[in-house]
Amino acid sequence: MRELTYIAAISEAIAHEMERDPDVLVLGEDVGGDFGGAFKVTEGLAARFGDRRVLNTPLAEQSFIGMANGMALMGLRPIVEVQFADFISTGFDSIVQSAATIHYRFGGKIPWVIRAPSDGGIRSGPFHSQNPEAWFVHTPGLKVVAPSNPADAKGLLCSAVRDPNPVVYFEAKPLYRSLRGPVPEGEHLAPIGEAAVVRPGTDLTVVAYGSQVSQALAAATDLAADGIEAEVVDLRSLKPLDFQTVAESVSRTSRAVVVHSANRLAGVGAEVAARIAEECFEWLDAPVTRLGGLDVPIPFSPPLEDAYRPDAQKIADAARRLAAY
C-alpha cells in the first residue's frame, strides 16, 4: 500500500469527505485561501472546493465553535480546526455546555468534528503543546478520538465526520511529518469505539494512544531484547472507550502500564487504570502503573520538557519494574 505521512493522511481524509458530501465544510483561523492553516493541513482545499466551504474565521473560538453548533443542528457537518489544541479552552462553553448537551436535552444532532493539533516534545512551551483530552472525556455527550498512525488518522477522521455526534479529534503534532505509514486509498473508515492490539505480547500490556503508541512500540522492541514480550493496545478512541480489548489483554498478561502524554494526574489513564484495577482485579499480578506528563505546565527548555514527558525509555523502565514485580 502507498505510504503517507500522518499529516497527509489527515488532509486526505478531509478532502475525501468534502468530495463525498456537500454538507461537509471546514472552518477555523487561517484554514482558507492559499494558506491552508498553521500546519497546512487544509492547503489546497479552498482552491478545490471554494471559499464558502473553507472559511477563515476571525479570532473568536467561542463563537466560531458555537457557529459550528448551529450549522450542525441544521444538518451541515463542519470540520472545525482550532489552531492548537491549547486554544480549545477558549471555546470551551460551546463544546462542553452547548454541543455536548443538545441531543440529550432536546434531540438536536451536532455532527461536527473539532480537529485539535495537540501534544509536544517539539519545544513549543506551555501554550502550544497541550493534551486536554481528559476535560472532554469527563464531559457527558462528546466523543473523543486520538489516532496514533496515518491509517487511523484518516480512518478515524472520516468516521468522525460521518458520526451524528460531536467528536473531538486530537491529532498528534509530533507525528505530523515524522511518522509515515500505509494508508488505504479512497474510502477508509476506522470505527470509533474500537481499540486495536498493535503488537501482541504475553508478559505485560502497555495501553497507550496518540504519539505514545510509537513510544510504546519502541519500548516493546527494547524490552523484547531482554526477553520481555509486551502487548501494546492502542486505544484509538478515548470516548467511547473499548475497555473490552484492554481487559482481554490484561487477562492474559496480568500486568499493565497505561501511558499518555497528558498530565498523569486525573488524566484519561486514571480512568483506564481504575477500570483495570476494578474489573481485572482477579487477574492482576502487579499494580497497574501509570505514566503521563508531570503535574506542571508543559515546559519549553529541552531538559525540562524531556523530564516532563513520557517516552520509550520511561515506558521500558516502568515495564521492567513491572515485569520484575
Residues 135/140/142/147 CA torsion (nearest 10 deg): 50
Which partner, another protein, ligand TPP, a copy of itself, none, binds residue 273 by CB below 5 to 8 Å per kind?
a copy of itself
Cβ nearer to ligand TPP, comparing 65 with 183: 65
CA distances from 171 to 58, 77, 250 (A): 23, 19, 27
End-to-end CA distance of the chain: 42
The H-or-E segment that residue 8 falls in is helix 6-20
> What CA–CA distance (Å, rounded) separates 158 from 140?
22
Q: Which x/- pattern, by CB under 6 A, does the window 88-107 give for ligand TPP? A: --x-----------------
**Number of neighbouring beta carbons within 10 Å of residue 34:** 8
> What CA–CA distance (Å, rounded) separates 280 from 148?
25
Cβ nearer to a copy of itself, comparing 96 with 179: 96
Interface with ligand TPP in residues 39-78 (CB under 6 A): 59, 61
Q: What are the residue numbers of the active site?
A: 128
Minimum distance, C-beta of residue 300 to ligand TPP, in the bound complex (Å):
16
Among 219, 269, 305, 311, binds a copy of itself (CB under 8 A): 269
Q: Which x/- pattern, by CB under 6 A, does the window 6-35 give for ligand TPP? A: -----------------------x------
Which partner, ligand TPP, a copy of itself, another protein, none, binds residue 286 by CB below 5 to 8 Å per kind?
a copy of itself
> What CA–CA distance (Å, rounded) separates 134 from 89?
12
**Residues forming the site for ligand TPP (CB under 6 A):** 29, 59, 61, 83, 87, 90
